[in-house]
Structure formats: structure tokens, C-alpha cells
Amino acid sequence: MLACGGEAVLAPPAPADACVGPERWEQIAGVPAEAPRLGAASVWDGERLLLVGGEILDESGEYQPALQAAGYEPATGRWFLFQGEGAPWPRFFSGAAWVASRLVVLGGYKDGKDTAPFGAFYDFATDRWTTMATEGYPLASTPGANALVSLGDRVLLVGSRCEDQCVQVGGLFDPLANQWTPITESGAPEARAFCSAVWTGSELFVWGGAREKDWVTIASGGAYDLHADRWSPTSLDGAPEARAGHGAVWIGSRMLVWGGSPAAAQGGYGLATGGLYDPATDTWSPTTTAGAPEARILPKLLWTGRHVIVAGGRAEGALGAAIYDPEADRWLPTSGDGAPLAIYSDYPHAAWDGCRVSLWGVYCVAPCEEDQPERYRYEAWAYYPPPEVRAAADAAQAAKPLP
């Protein structure tokens, strides 16, 4: 289904039997020239990977914020563009969420130093943007500090408010009412940026990141209970090494944390380790390093219902996909044949649709210098995991109780 008012960009349709066959990588054709670029935000709406914002190169070779928006439908292999009436201020490195059948965009930068503090939401049915209410906005200070997750009917925002000191604040946003509701600050974890945020269906887990004052990484976290409006700390015993820019995902009863950088201020690709957090026992257990993929920051962790697929991220070598079995604490062997031949894919956007991973990112041919934009490529790829991984995902989906 194409967005109402969107412009279709046709690519070769995905074959009906695309989900059959061996493990493989395939480059996705037909990426629009107008598609979002570096620093875009993305969401998965259940059928489409939606991309909005980012930076583009102007005629003088300078990066400028944009509000380009595009979507990709893996089932059909088709791209489309959408803009809509009342589009908000162009921005990059914003947050985004899919909630109440609307695309919510919040925060980000409007230039190299100033933030675009408020947001808007887009309704595909009317092809219209609505400016987000500012009353009650919790004033999270920087885009990187924001953890933005969809609860289905509302958006939960957790971030930092920095005045004399930084404190962790948050709020719930209802796009149907265009209204903010504050959440408690009592017991909230230490304020942080570039942390992970995982929603379980009833609780939000915030973990890791770096302090905004000195960019020292953190190995602590907190759990927010939506129904009780209450924060509680997560255990420090056995927690993974402090890190920022890591990946995290909820796998049904536990949270998996993996990858990231141990030194946010210095960058680097130093961590190929992770941990599993069990909230029922408030305990951590390490993930095995045997057979683990190369260290990377900003990886995407995707839950199939049985396995975790690690895709994208920034690393020192060409990137393939990695597959982790949390029940066996085992990394499955994967083939890198046909994977994107690049030094890294930065700020990747990825979605699992039950058949394949659709991955869109910025790829660089070494040396990756910011003043050499011609060395950067913007590409989309599909990764089809081994048949046994797809079969296990199908079985997990079939075993789910009916809503």
C-alpha cells in the first residue's frame, strides 16, 4: 500500500518466492535520488521502512538539513516519496516513532549547533503534518539524549534537561489529542546521551550511554513502569562494560545489549561483547564471544522471534550480518558473500519483515574523510538469513497467541 499523496518510485517487484532460497545479500534497486541521507530518522510501520530528514549536499558542497521523506515496501520492492502539507522545520539526527498510524518526528538539529526542539506528526490518510504541542514538553536538551519509543497509541520520550546540572526527564505524547503528559522524575537514572531504550510492552529499559557533561560512558540503567509511573534501577552486578552507541532489543522476556564504544568522546569500534538482562530476577549474564562478529558501534539488533540479527553499524572492516541464538548463547555461522563492500555503514536503518532484513545506510570507500563526500554511497540492501533461521521465525510467529 502506497502512502496517500505519495509519489511512487517503481523498482523491480520483489519475486513472489523471494523468501525461498539460501542465505544471501541483494542490493535493493530504485532508491530515489531524493531519499533521505546522513542523519535521517527511520521507523518500521509493520509494512514499510519510513525515512525522514537528514543532511544533503547543496550546490556549494556544504551539508544542509532537509525534510526529505521516503518509504520502502520490502514485500513489493517499491519506493515512494512523501512530503505533505505543513511539513516541519528541516532537521537531522532527530527521533522518530510510529504511533496511532502516524509518523512522529521530534527534536534534531536545524543547523550545525542549534537544535530543532519540537516536532510534528504526519498522517498518511490526509497527507498532512501537524505541529506538536509545546505545552508540557519535557525539554530534553539534545537529540542524542532522547530515547523515543512507541507504545502503540502514545510516544514515550525520555531524555535530559540540562540547566545547572543534567537531570533525566520524560513525557508521554498522544498524537490524537496532541497533548503531553509528564512522567515522574523521582528515582530516574542518571541523565545520559546515546543510550539504548527498549520497550517490553509494559516497561521501558534505559541502559548505558554517556554523561553529557564529560562524555564518560555509563554501565547502569533504569526501568520505568508505565502503569505505576515509577522508576527503579537495574542491577549493576554482572552488567556489561560501560558503553555508548550500542544496540539493544527486547527478546520476549529479556533485554539483549551488544556492541558500542567504551569511550564516547574518542569514538572507536572497541566492543564485540554484550549481555542479557532478565528483569524477573534483576540479573545479567554475558553473551559468548566465541564466534561473535566484528566490533561495531551503532548496530541494529532485530528480533525474529527466535534469533537476533545484527545488521549495519560502524566497523573497521566490510560488514556482513551476524545471528545470535539467545537460548543456546551461540553465534550462528553466517556468510559474508555478496555483503556491501564498504568500510562501514554509518547510522543504518533496518527492519525485519519475517523474511528478510531491509537495510539502508551510508557506505564509505576508504579513506572516509568528511571533506570527501564523493567517497560516500547511499545504498539499500536486503539480507536473507539462512533458511533454518527463517523457518524458526515462521514457527515463532505461528506459536504466538491470537490477539
Task: Give the start-to-end residue ranges of the domains of the chain.
Answer: 133-243
**Distance between start and end Cα atoms, the chain:** 23
Please give the pLDDT value at position 13.
44
Residue 87 has pLDDT above 70, yes or no: yes
Distance between CA atoms of 103 and 43, rounded to whole angstroms? 8
Among the residue ranges 139-143, 179-183, 192-196, 395-399, the one predicted with the least confidence is 139-143
Please give the pLDDT value at position 38.
77
Distance between CA atoms of 303 and 397, rounded to whole angstroms? 12
Please give the pLDDT value at position 145.
52
What does CATH list as the number for 133-243?
2.120.10.80
Q: 344 with 267: CB under 8 angstroms? A: no
Q: 194 with 239: CB under 8 angstroms? A: no
Among the residue ranges 59-63, 97-101, 270-274, the one predicted with the least confidence is 59-63
Distance between CA atoms of 210 and 80, rounded to whole angstroms? 37
- Bigger pLDDT: 318 vs 72: 72
Distance between CA atoms of 48 and 318, rounded to whole angstroms? 27
Choose among 258, 164, 172: nearest CA to 213. 164
Mean pLDDT of 284-292: 97
Per-range mean pLDDT, top range of 29-33, 58-62, 165-169, 277-281: 277-281
Distance between CA atoms of 316 and 312, rounded to whole angstroms? 12
Mean pLDDT of 355-364: 85
Please give the pLDDT value at position 4.
31
Mean pLDDT of 144-159: 84
Mean pLDDT of 182-187: 93
Among the residue ranges 4-13, 20-29, 289-298, the one predicted with the least confidence is 4-13
Mean pLDDT of 180-209: 92
Give ∠ CA 193-195-198 in degrees, rounded to 5. 140
**Biggest CA pair distance of the chain:** 59
Distance between CA atoms of 197 and 97, rounded to whole angstroms? 13
Rounded to the nearest 10 degrees, how much is the dihedral formed by the CA atoms of 239, 385, 149, 6? 160
DSSP 188: P
Q: Where does 186-294 have alpha helices with state H? A: none
367 prior amide bond cis, ω within 30? yes
Provide the total of helices (H) and of strands (E) in the chain, helices listed first.
Answer: 1, 31
- Bigger pLDDT: 113 vs 327: 327
Per-range mean pLDDT, top range of 11-20, 63-72, 101-110: 101-110
Choose among 76, 78, 68, 86: nearest CA to 127. 86
Work out the pLDDT band at 270, boundaries 50, 70, 90: confident
% of the chain beyond a pLDDT of 90 = 53
- Bigger pLDDT: 165 vs 263: 263
Choose among 276, 273, 277, 275: nearest CA to 297. 273
Mean pLDDT of 276-305: 95
Contacts 24+ apart (CB under 8 A), 264-267: 264/193, 264/194, 264/209, 264/210, 264/215, 264/216, 264/217, 265/210, 265/214, 265/215, 265/216, 267/297
Mean pLDDT of 191-217: 90
Contacts of residue 241, defined as CB under 8 A and 6 or more positions apart, other chains included, come to 219, 262, 271, 273
% of the chain beyond a pLDDT of 70 = 82
Instruction: Name the pairing type of β-strands 95-99 and 78-81.
Output: unpaired
